[in-house]
Amino acid sequence: MTTTTGPHPTRRLILQGAVSVALIGLGNLPFAPALAAANDKYPDEAFKLKNEAEAIKALYGKTPEPSDKIKLDAPEIAENGAVVPVSVTTTLDKVTSISFFVAENPNALAASYRFPDGAIPAVANRLKMAKTSSVTAIVEADGKLYSATKDVKVTVGGCGG
Amino acid sequence: MAIRRRDFLKSTAAVATSLSLPRLARGADTASIYDIERFGNARILHTTDTHAQLNPVYFREPSVNIGIGEMAGRPPHLVGHAFLDRFGIRPDSADAYAFTCVEFEKSAGRFGKLGGFAHLKTLIDRLRNDVGAKHAMLLDGGDLWQGTGLANSMQGRDMVEVANLLGIEAMTGHWEFTYGEEVLRENLGHFRGEFLAQNVFLTEEAAFNDAPAFDKTTGRVFKPSVIKELGGHRVAIIGQAFPYVPIAHPKRFTPNWTFGIREEELQKHVDALRGNDKVDAVILLSHNGMDVDLKLASRVTGIDVILGGHTHDAVPQPIAVKNAGGTTLVTNAGSNGKFLAVLDLALDKGKVGDIRYHLLPVYSELLKPDPAMAELIGKLRAPVVTDWSEKIATPDRLLYRRDNFAGPVDDLICTALRTELNAEIALSPGFRWGVTALPGQPLTMEDVLAGTAITYPETYVQEMTGAEIKDVLEDVCDNLFNADPYYQQGGDMVRAGGLSYTCSPTNAIGRRISELKLDNGKSISASRRYKVAGWASVNGQQGAPVWDVVAKYLRSGRMLPERLGTGVTLNGVDGNPGIAG
């Protein structure tokens, strides 16, 4: 029996994963590219595009197919459009990337995360939404692209009951 | 009185037979409508959306309550004769008067007012005693603390005292939250029952700052459920507060709390109650609104009955909804104290064998007011009753509120806003509470407050472009007619004064509202700016409270103009049984 002094191997993998995942989605912050995994360039062009389909194409170079293996959690009606909590988990294998798109925002791509081998494919973040829109999560797994979509209403408020 | 009593009995006997699903109650031969045949081993009494109406009221049910998509033509989206036909109620009966708008004015004189907490107390005690205290419990679905000038000025405290005397054992909430977190907690400190809400959580910031919560691990602010032993069986009651409090009302009232339908958390909780606590029945005490409850019932498993409220739908029979785990029954018990729901359960080990359900109209003329409750109501009202009982107008027509797009109460509010604040257009929220006033009878300040008393009554005047006005109408319209009930907030269309438009409810958001015109017939231009008056804004406003604006208008001796200012032309819903013919 061998003994190890370092962290449990699985745990170390997760931690490594977490470091390189860190928020490409912070947008135009100048240091963001440095945080991306070594082999990935900051997807400057994709973040600038207005149209969702074009942004997906620019980021991944292919089109996604809907998958029920992605769980996209978002409110039906946002309590505050400036900070809409949206999270994704998936049972897909070999996930390398998860991205969020808000179709009606001025720029559709809201955040993109990369996952090194062994990282648990789960992301929770808050999205700023200009108005009522579909929110789409794209998961890249084993070289293929999958999507899940949910409508989130950003309303002017007011009530009747 | 003798003649009237006969009127009641004659007309209700016929109804009782036809109010039953095959598995539901048949009470045809009862001598009195309140003699309910004993059934099962547990009785749950349910009130909801009473809106603090301490005394009996007139309340006209809607003549327009349109259902779209899957909800078209299904309860609760049936009105008038379509409703009577669906539930087998005779048109000239007391129940037709209680449940629908059919011949309302005529029947109001014949059958009188409904509700009132002293009358409710008598009925509740009687139905409790019929089965014995160990077999009965009383639940309230919320909107108990708001709806009158008195409740507003006492911040709901009056209703806590009433609830304690009535014996409410558990409740959930909606307008209760609009008194703010601090007042809510203070009131609950005096409430002898439980306040239940499985779907209210601390925001991340509040949790980080160690804000008070029932359960720090889950972040649940309130107790999610309570288990009560009834007739030797264990019944779980889960509370479901109105899911959209911080959206429908100013966020400043509940800065630390986040809401939502929380289907997943609910499912987990139901599973835990069944798996760990081994309860025999699970009841959801819900303030979701009926359409949301019907969808929820199709997706969440393990709930026997959803006792619903919020949308003020008086639905005589439960609606059975199939889901992956079996069947869930969904009810909605009306508003303003008009109805008391009686759910009798035959409980077995781990399951509900059968049920009987009655939605009893609370005919105040058939019930003797409970003396202790009458005394408490008198005591609570004493400080304000003189001030607010002065007659300020005599309506020249029936003043009611509940319809999808307009009602004379809101026409009056909009006319008062436009006149007093000198605006081209007025917008007024599509609230479903507030009482009905009969023509020719004195209207008091108390009546005005009963249609306006909220914690954010400030009026405003602002400039809006035609495009912005259309956006507001589209936004609110989607709350009513989104094909997916989870995107509906309940309530009716924002009322527009000085503005007419065409609405196509079956279209998608952005394409429902068209042909916007001012009263003078001129089309609204997208880029022009218009002077718009309103109240009940979710943003802070500084203007006079709306009740003062309305009272000032009425005191000047004016009522409604000959032609009503609100003209909504409906498109694409011909033949929808949610529109009275």
CB contact under 8 A, A79 and B258: yes
Whether A15 is covered by a domain: the verdict is yes
Provide the pairing of β-strand B194-195 with B513-518. unpaired
User: Closest to A160 (Cβ–Cβ): which among B261, B431, B482?
Assistant: B431
Phi, psi of B104, rounded to the nearest 5 degrees: -60, -50
Q: Which residues contact B3 (CB under 8 A, 6 or more apart)?
A: none
Query: What's the mean pLDDT when you consider all of chain A?
Result: 80
Instruction: Tell me the mean pLDDT in the region B308-323.
Output: 98
Which among B167-181, B466-480, B487-501, B549-563 has the top mean pLDDT? B167-181
pLDDT at B13 over 50: no
pLDDT at B85 over 50: yes
Q: What is the Cα–Cα distance from B154 to B380, expressed in whole angstroms?
A: 10
CB A89 within 8 A of CB B264: no
What CATH number has the domain bearing residue A113? 2.60.40.2470
SS3 A66: strand
Q: Is B201 on the interface with A (CB under 8 A)?
A: no
Q: What is the pLDDT of residues B390-401, one digit of tens each?
A: 999 999 999 999
pLDDT at B522 over 60: yes
Q: What is the Cα–Cα distance from B313 to B317, expressed in whole angstroms?
A: 11
Partners of residue B431 in chain A, C-beta under 8 Å: 159-161
Please tell me the predicted confidence (pLDDT) of residue B563: 60
Whether A129 is covered by a domain: the verdict is yes
Q: What is the Cα–Cα distance from B508 to B474, expressed in whole angstroms?
A: 9
Q: Which domains does chain B have, with CATH numbers?
A: 2-26+33-376 (3.60.21.10), 389-570 (3.90.780.10)
User: Closest to B472 (Cβ–Cβ): which among A77, A80, A156?
Assistant: A156
Provide the pairing of β-strand B201-202 with B499-503. unpaired
Please tell me the predicted confidence (pLDDT) of residue B559: 78
Nearest partner of B144 among B101, B99, B188, judged by Cα: B188
The total number of structural domains in chain A stands at 1
Rg (CA), chain B: 23
Please tell me the predicted confidence (pLDDT) of residue A155: 85
Minimal Cα–Cα distance from B250 to chain A, Å?
8
Query: What's the mean pLDDT when you consider all of chain B?
Result: 93
Partners of residue A133 in chain B, C-beta under 8 Å: none
Minimal Cα–Cα distance from B462 to chain A, Å?
15
Q: In which domain, by residue range, is A18 found?
A: 9-152
Please tell me the predicted confidence (pLDDT) of residue A40: 61
Instruction: Tell me the mean pLDDT in the region B483-504.
Output: 93
Please tell me the predicted confidence (pLDDT) of residue A17: 40
Instruction: Tell me the mean pLDDT in the region B435-450.
Output: 96
Partners of residue A76 in chain B, C-beta under 8 Å: 260-261, 484, 486-487
User: Closest to B311 (Cβ–Cβ): which among A75, A156, A161?
Assistant: A161
Report helix angle B408-420 to B546-555, nearest 10: 90
| Residue B218, CA atoms < 13 Å, CB-side half-sphere | 18
Whether A160 is covered by a domain: the verdict is no
pLDDT-derived band at B491, boundaries 50, 70, 90:
confident
Q: Is B492 on the interface with A (CB under 8 A)?
A: yes
pLDDT-derived band at B25, boundaries 50, 70, 90:
very low
Nearest partner of B291 among B321, B246, B268, judged by Cα: B321
Q: What angle do CA B344, B350, B351 make, to 5 degrees?
A: 40
User: Closest to B248 (Cβ–Cβ): which among A151, A153, A159?
Assistant: A159
Q: What pairs with residue B238 in β-bridges?
A: B225, B284
CB contact under 8 A, A156 and B475: yes
